[in-house]
Amino acid sequence: MDALDVDSIRKDFPILGTKVNGKPLIYLDSAATSQKPSSVIEAVDYYYKNYNANIHRGLYELSIKSTEEYERSKELAAKFINAESYREIIYCRNATDAINIVSLSWGESGISAGDRILITDMEHHSNIVPWLELAKRKKAVLDHVGLEAGSYIDMEDFKRKLESRPKMVAFTNASNVLGTINDAKKMARLAHEAGATVLVDCAQTSPHMALDVRDMDCDFAAFSSHKMLGPSGIGILYGKAALLEQITPAIVGSDMIRSVTFDSAVWNELPWKFESGTPNIEGAIGFGAAIEYLNKTGMQRIRQHEIDITKYAMKRLSEVPGVSVFGPGMGEPERRVGVISFKIAGAHPHDVAQIFNSEGIAIRAGHHCAMPLVTQVVGEPAVSRMSFYLYNNKEEVDKAIDAITKVKKVLRLDGKE
């Protein structure tokens, strides 16, 4: 397998040529949202300039073209995650929206009073709050699996919690704070053996590694376009067709209806059954272009590049006194995506982020929408995070290490006046 030609890839991303505070932009916040290649930007621009029209409703050329490109992107998405059919691909706003669709639709009939819902301590708020609200609404019980060594899901605790026969088991494929990659296939198998329906939050894995929902055997999966080179405002809910057929949509109206009277309505076929109103057409087209870019680049090559750069960054961070890193250790780069949360002793993460910004480096600071996890693992309400993608290189890591040195100097943490 050829190594990724990062220098060539960087030329595809116009924003990487900009400057921040007079210095070249170093973007280390792809776990929050990725940058966009020219091919994605141009696909959206071309749609608006050449065939902007609503889909599924017009018999004129622009509408037909728009519909074709919208549906083609679904075919691309289905193949990207190895779904059986595009009928299992529901377009929504983002991964958060996808999880809410499941909690509001499947949850209405799938959860009753006294039933149990199981999540983990590693979850993003988007995979906590929808289940918390469902449990309140249905008088169900929300339980959570603890961590092992502050980095991994405690599988023994997971097995114990499964003994209570939860109806839904929802967990992240990879942590946006720790970077930890979970064995989704194994966890789904154990959950199914306990009789549960399984949802996997793939927001942090879909941009970085090949996904196979059939091999994983999850019932639902959720991820977002904006983290994988595509536009904001569009994401995917994957669901097994047989399960989606059984569920009553929670949001209704417009194109998701086959027929309607003042007495009743009949839902449309999959996947349109869950897509009410005019969708984010340009977002879908841009998402399709992003998937094509990822396919052309090669997910295995992207994954190997991120392992290499993460390993390098972990090594460089270990050389800096007073820096703590969270998640899998330096000898386990394969067990994490390109996410490194770190703490500089004596420095608040917000100060760290501002000083990094003065050097043109974009990193994240805060609880990363995972307050229970950050509080438990870090022991404080905030942490600094750098995250890598296919356009980052080792020189940028070196600049980030230099920025840490500046943080310590500015905040007088290096023992020098």
Active centre residues (catalytic)? 369
Q: Could you give the 3-state DSSP secondary structure of residue 323?
A: strand
DSSP string over 160-186: HHHTT--SEEEEESB-TTT-BBP-HHH
Q: Could you give the 3-state DSSP secondary structure of residue 264?
A: coil
Peptide bond between residue 130 and the one before it cis (omega within 30 degrees of 0) = no
What's the one-letter identity of residue 270? L
Q: What is the rounded CA–CA span in Å between residue 123 and residue 376?
A: 12
Contact 326, 178 (CB under 8 A): yes
| CA-based nearest residue to 272, from 1, 55, 112 | 55
Supply 105's token pair: 């639709």
Instruction: Quote the strand ranges of 205-246, DSSP E.
Output: 220-224, 235-239
- DSSP H helices, 252-330, are 281-297, 299-318
Strand partners, 343: 324
How far, CA to CA in Å, does 286 sit from each of 243, 256, 262, 278?
28, 23, 38, 16
Q: What is the rounded CA–CA span in Å between residue 31 and residue 387?
A: 6
Packing angle of the helix pair 299-318, 281-297 (nearest 10 deg): 80
Supply 114's token pair: 């006294």
Strand partners, 23: 20
Supply 27's token pair: 């973007």
| CA-based nearest residue to 213, from 336, 391, 90, 58 | 90
Q: What is the rounded CA–CA span in Å between residue 30 and residue 334?
A: 18
User: How far out from the chain centre does Cα 201 lie?
Assistant: 7
| Environment class of 318 (CB within 10 Å of its CB; exposed 0-12, middle 13-18, buried 19+) | exposed
Supply 85's token pair: 């059919």
| Environment class of 287 (CB within 10 Å of its CB; exposed 0-12, middle 13-18, buried 19+) | buried
